[in-house]
Chain A
Amino acid sequence: MSRIGFKYVFERMPELRIVIFAGKGGVGKTTSSAALSYKLASMGRRVLCFSTDPQASLSDIFERNLFGKGEIEVAPNLYVLEIDADKRIAEYVESIRRKIKEMYKIDEIPREVEDYIESAVAEPAMYESAVYDAMVDVVAEGKYDYYVFDMPPFGHGIRMVAMADILSKWVDKIFEARKEALELDAAAARLKGEKLLEYEDQMLKELEYIRGRIVSFSRLITDAKRTAFTMVLVPERMAILDTEKAIEMFEELGLKMRGVVVNQVYPPQLLEDPRAPDYLKKRVLAQRPYVREIYEKFRDLIVAVIPMLNREPKGLEAVRIVAEELWESSLDLGALEALTGR
């Protein structure tokens, strides 16, 4: 009953396709993402691990430069994507320029349009948008069985999710406006008795395309059956506060947090081990109140507990260790409860 781990999450949620790891900086989001992806891939499924964090450390974890290199297979079936948003933006904008030139058979883009493009590139939220679109992109392609997203720290992570909400409302609204404008055009034409051309508005088509992507992605990530939002936290005051605030903000967005992963929990045996120095025991004890707080506040949400490792989780070997803990935690809820001293 009290066994925990992602194994059970996947058992309970057979339709689960997307796992998103969010949380404060330095709590092990990227490690968890890498580990879960690794585990799923080792079971023979195609997995994409995608870091949306601009301080992406997937390269560090897999000890291989992945930044801006596209989808790289780092282990059998395990693909990793660390996008270079700036590069992506540059390419995207260039394609728009090309399209304008082709559409109107011009060599030079009109000044006000060019000004607009340049200003768009520099817009503060452009970076996030590009990352967001990359997420939409890989999911829309549907090449993988599972997608694991590593979100940027706190504010930006939530915003990335909020973006799904805003963007789909936005695209809905402008779609409505465009459609209404065309309706009105058609109405005027009908009153004039002009032959009614079946409207082939290219912009509407483009909008439909954008809308299709945004809305279906937004639907997907807000679908509790197919997407699991997971907060990673460590037994520290700030991490707990962050997690609470994140859950609150998620609820404001109408989303539900699927679970929390508790990372860096000192193995309880350390306390009983006579070989452990007082210093270490003190650290274990210092962690206790926070473990208790986590247990009390998030008991129903805890999906996995990762013990404090004796080394930095990098390299496939270390990832494998974390992966096993994530999949079936050696510390189950009972052990956790024991830790709280009740």
Chain B
Amino acid sequence: MGERKGLGFLSRIKDAISEAVYGIALHGQVASIKRMKMYTEYLFMLMTIGDMMGIPIVPPYYTLRLLPYMVPNIKGWKLRMLRERDVTDIISG
């Protein structure tokens, strides 16, 4: 945001319009794709560190090898996966 200040009114308008056009044309789809990715990740996580939610699925030997890369995602993953959803959550997009 800070960088834009100097650019003047016109270019701000231009940015705003292009952002709005992106919003109309693509934002919803990007959201859908992200959601799909989230579900794909569910599968991945369930199949690897499902034990972490008390769902033992496969022997964790090889999972351990992947564990270091998962460390930063674990919290967000749990939050997303365990949040109760409603149909009205998924209407948009």
Contacts and interface: CB of A to CB of B under 8 A. Distances in A.
Nearest to B44: A177
Interface in A222-266: none
B17 interface: no
A206 B44 contact: no
A83 to B, nearest CB: 14
Interface string B38-60: 00110110011101100010111
B11 interface: no
B74 interface: yes
A177 B40 contact: yes
B60 A120 contact: yes
The prevalent SS among residues of B at the interface is: helix
B20 interface: no
A326 to B, nearest CB: 33
Interface residues of A, number: 47
A210 to B, nearest CB: 5
B71 A166 contact: no
Contacts of A115: 52
Residue from A117, A188, A206, A207 whose CB has the most chain B CB atoms within 10 Å: A188
A115 B51 CA distance: 10
B9 interface: no
Interface string B53-90: 00010111111111111111010000000000000000
Query: A interface, by DSSP: helix, strand, loop or mixed?
Result: helix
A210 B34 contact: no
Q: How large is the interface on B (under 10, 10 to 19, 20 to 34, 35 or more residues)?
A: 20 to 34
Interface stretch (A72-80, A179-187, A275-283, A284-292): A179-187
A311 B58 CA distance: 44
Given A178-B44, A191-B26, A210 B65 contact: yes
Interface stretch (A24-32, A38-46, A128-136): A128-136
A312 interface: no
Task: Name, among B40, B49, B74, the residue most crowded by chain A CB atoms within 10 Å (CB to CB).
Answer: B40
B16 interface: no
Contacts of B58: 166-167, 170
Interface string A108-141: 0010110111011001011011101100000000
Indicate the member of B47, B56, B59, B60 with the most A CB atoms within 10 Å: B59
A126 B69 CA distance: 21
Interface string B5-25: 000000000000000001000
Nearest to B63: A120
Interface in A63-113: 92-93, 96, 99-100, 103-104, 110, 112-113
Contacts of B74: 110, 112-113
Contacts of B72: 104
A185 B34 CA distance: 7
B51 A116 contact: yes
B67 A96 contact: yes
A203 B69 CA distance: 6
Contact of A181 (B44, B59, B70): B44
Contacts of B61: 92, 120, 126, 129-130, 132-133
A128 B26 CA distance: 49
A192 B33 contact: no
A103 B67 contact: no
Nearest to B31: A188
9 shortest interchain CB distances as A-B pairs: A129-B61, A120-B60, A184-B37, A125-B59, A203-B69, A177-B44, A129-B59, A181-B40, A188-B33
13 contacts: A100-B68, A103-B71, A112-B52, A116-B52, A120-B51, A123-B51, A132-B61, A166-B58, A171-B62, A184-B33, A187-B33, A191-B33, A206-B69
